[in-house]
Chains A and B, each alone.
Chain A
Amino acid sequence: MKSEAPLRLQLVGVSKSFPGVRANDNVSLRVKPGEIHALLGENGAGKSTLVKMIYGILAPDEGQIIFDGSPQRISNPRAARRLGIGMVFQHFSLFEAMTVLENIALGLDSRLPQRELLAQFNRVLEAYHLKLDPRRVVSTLSVGERQRIEIVRALLLNPRLLIMDEPTSVLTPQEVEQLFETLKHLASSGCSILYISHKLHEIVALCDTATILRGGRVVAACDPKRETSRSMAEMMIGANLKEIAKPAGRVFGEPKLAAGSLSLPKPSEFGVALKDVALLVRAGEIFGVAGVAGNGQNELLSAVSGETLALNPGAIVLAGRPVGRLGVNERRNMGLCAVPEERNGHAAVSEFSLTDNASLTGRETMDMVWYGLIDPGKAREYASDVIGAFTVKATGPGALAGSLSGGNLQKFIMGREIMQRPEALVVCQPTWGVDAGAAAAIHQAIVDLAARGSAVLVISQDLDELLTLCDTIAVINLGRMSPPMKVGEVSIEEIGLLMGGVHGDPAATAEMTEALHAHPI
């Protein structure tokens, strides 16, 4: 057994507590050299806390971190980098107003003259077949390119262990493909990778080993190649996964919500102009809008909900009536409800109680107003109904919206709109940052609403979500909407190309398009 190389990373009984929570409880983990090791778990399972300890951002309360066979106390990220641990954050630690090269320099501990740094930068790009212009300012780059900066920054340190925290949540399928190439290349050269995700098919495709966390503890370690996405999901949530029950053979009714030639100028310097958007959602239909973040999704939501008025009344039609020039309240009273992406501050006021939040959108439709006064009893009753029907974990209707967890608040907001029985519902990112249990409940509620004859428009960046949920799907890219496609008849590759292919790399996109034409789908 002498010839066996020491483990790259070994955690022995690592624990970490925060006031009120035990984020990690006696976690042990073994990562071999050159291994791609998945760290799986729901939101709040303790994945991020664990890697923050490995990267020196947090200090463990108990337990030992053994790196390359010798126990280490990693007191800060600098010390972690000295050992050869690199990390790519979920939320990029980039500086928007600075150039790519300046961002790279900030991530390095050694002081290099600029010319030397540039040479090293180009060497890494070449070795891993990555494309990136060092002089560009970060704010002009796509998300995929930004992530590449983070990766190059980590690779420049010649890491022996690279931690990737939810790297694919913002990428197009093609960009994911490219990232996986890079990671496999890196692993084959001996670097271990700790890959955090909750996207199970990615883990099956990429990883050699998986450790599953739940509630801060390791609940299982497995070989993803021998598991199915479903079995791993069940280990993750610790219960059987409920299938979304979608009634078969549904027929759609009359058009409920339509947009035609909807064009709007940029709302701000960083916004996106909508260009000639058209869509049609019929009664009982769930219509999905896919796209990479920042391609006009928020602008589309506010145009449909009435936060931004269209230029002519006919641009938005609700159940046959032109509403393009009507405001949010008028549209809501006509049966159009909306759930924006941002929960705190847009969909709900975090400093308000759930009762007050319920009356904010439900006061007219749920008949709470009496001669201009809100009936607090009815408002409370409605909030309690929503809490009950959607199993929202809250201390009661008096709880502040801000005190709820993301998933519970989202369930409450969805419930508040759905129970108004809208003719049409628009939702943006319905399950963003929501755990799998709550996500399944929200999905089921959307399907049930459609089954009762409402039209539902779902705008999401999560392609898996759209493909399981929707009947029809269209892609928004740079403010333009693709023609609608039937789910089940369209391939992921096709959607990915419409989403913009490999962002910032026209050559690769052209290549993909050619490949698609060569092998028609």
Chain B
Amino acid sequence: MNLAFIIDALVTVVGVTTPILLAATGELVVEKSGVINLGVEGMMLIGAITGFAITFNYGPDLGDWAPWVGVVCAALAAAISSQLFGFLVLTLGSNQVATGLALTIFGIGLSSLIGAGYVGMTVPEFATPFPDWLAGDPVWRVLFGYSPLVYFALIAVLVVGWFLNRTRAGLVLRAVGENDISAHSIGYSVLAIRYAAIAFGGAMAGVAGAYFSMVITPMWAEQMTAGRGWIALALVVFSGWRAGRLLVGAYFFGILMTLELYAKASGFSFLPSQFWAAMPYIMAVVVLAVISARGVAGSEAPACLGRPFMPSN
């Protein structure tokens, strides 16, 4: 095992981890506000196709700014789709689990429809912002060879951790997730805070989706997020709703998946590939089971997670 191989592996780990980390960071904020949005996968796909289509169509006119505009549009589109979910579960008080699943199905369908004409097309990769001599260095590329979205993901999870635990706004957000009735009676607007949290979660999922279509494989393929949204959801639960553990957990997942990739490439697999294909669905079942079994998740889960809140006046 030589240095080049290790660096290759590390770069792969970062690439695999980033979209999961982005989506999970957004979902963490959503769940901390007391809402569970199972539509992460769908929002990621909406983000993926939007980012791709914008870059593909307007890229030549926008020049250097094209990928940035693409990512922002991806975030906006996913955030808008999340507000649809928000309207259903917050204003109309529908079941969050069912509505979230519907959002995923909607996202898969919509992205396939819009993406029908783009299958197999490519865009230029949203590449590293660092100069070539640094990003292209065989060793230093382990730190500087990534897309800006990688650095954004790391900063975002740290900022979210700081926001939740150190700021007053974060305290209020957690309060809303912990006891919506109390927060309402103290005078906080539970629904407004939850709408905002859902929008943030949507935007982050959109960026995560764009990472697939603009960085990993800068081309469009149907359902290219391959169930990573479900893994992000599981990660939020397994992290015990804490940003620090979320970061560590995301990389743990990333290392696991990279190991599998390498094992498969060398003709040896420690888990059958069907297992990896089934992983997202297994994760979905585990997430729901853990959240339903409050005794297991215990005091870590936001106490109002998944419960509709209807203010009485």
Contacts and interface: CB of A to CB of B under 8 A. Distances in A.
A114 to B, nearest CB: 10
Interface stretch (B11-19, B50-58, B178-186): B178-186
B228 interface: no
A133 interface: no
A98 B187 CA distance: 18
Nearest to B302: A97
B129 interface: no
B182 A95 contact: yes
A96 B299 CA distance: 9
Interface stretch (B80-88, B102-110, B130-138, B168-176): B168-176
Given A111-B168, A139-B299, A95 B175 contact: yes
Interface string A55-96: 011110000000000000000111001000000010111111
A106 interface: yes
Contacts of B266: none
Contacts of A58: 313
Nearest to B172: A106
B182 A97 contact: no
B167 to A, nearest CB: 10
B298 interface: yes
B178 A57 contact: no
A77 B187 contact: yes
B185 A106 contact: no
B171 A93 contact: no
Contacts of A106: 171-172, 175, 183, 186
Given A92-B182, A93-B185, A98 B175 contact: yes
Nearest to B169: A111
A92 B178 CA distance: 13
Given A105-B171, A268-B295, A89 B185 contact: yes
Interface in B285-303: 295, 298-299, 302-303
**For chain B, which range describes its interface: under 10, 10 to 19, 20 to 34, or 35 or more residues?**
10 to 19
Given A93-B179, A96-B303, A269 B186 contact: no
Nearest to A92: B182
Contacts of B182: 92-95
A485 B298 CA distance: 39
A190 interface: no
A448 interface: no
Interface of A is mostly: loop
Interface in A119-144: 139
A76 B187 contact: yes
A314 interface: no
Interface string B175-203: 10011011101110000000000000000
B182 to A, nearest CB: 3
A335 B299 CA distance: 40
Contact of A98 (B178, B185, B295): B178
Contacts of B295: 268-269
A385 interface: no
B270 to A, nearest CB: 36
B185 A97 contact: no
Nearest to A109: B187
Interface in B8-30: none
A77 B178 contact: no
Contact of B299 (A59, A92, A93, A97): A97
Interface string B271-313: 0000000000000000000000001001100110000000001
Given A93-B179, A96-B303, A139-B299, A102 B171 contact: yes
Contact of B303 (A78, A97, A102): A97
Contacts of A76: 187
B242 to A, nearest CB: 12
Contacts of A97: 178, 299, 302-303
A163 to B, nearest CB: 12
A143 to B, nearest CB: 15
Nearest to A103: B175
A268 to B, nearest CB: 6
Contacts of A13: none
Contacts of A78: 187
A484 interface: no
B181 to A, nearest CB: 7
Contacts of A268: 295
Contacts of A92: 182
A96 B168 CA distance: 17
A322 interface: no
B168 to A, nearest CB: 6
A159 to B, nearest CB: 15
Contact of B186 (A91, A98, A107): A107
Contact of A93 (B168, B186, B303, B313): B186
Nearest to B299: A97
B313 A98 contact: no
A97 B313 CA distance: 27
Given A57-B185, A97-B303, A105 B168 contact: yes
Nearest 5 A-B pairs (CB), nearest first?
A: A93-B182, A77-B187, A95-B178, A78-B187, A93-B185
Given A93-B181, A95-B183, A106-B175, 5 more contacts: A56-B187, A76-B187, A95-B178, A98-B171, A106-B172
14 contacts: A77-B186, A78-B187, A91-B181, A93-B179, A93-B185, A93-B186, A95-B175, A95-B179, A95-B182, A97-B299, A97-B302, A98-B171, A102-B171, A139-B299
Interface of A: 56-59, 76-78, 81, 89, 91-98, 102, 105-107, 111, 139, 268-269
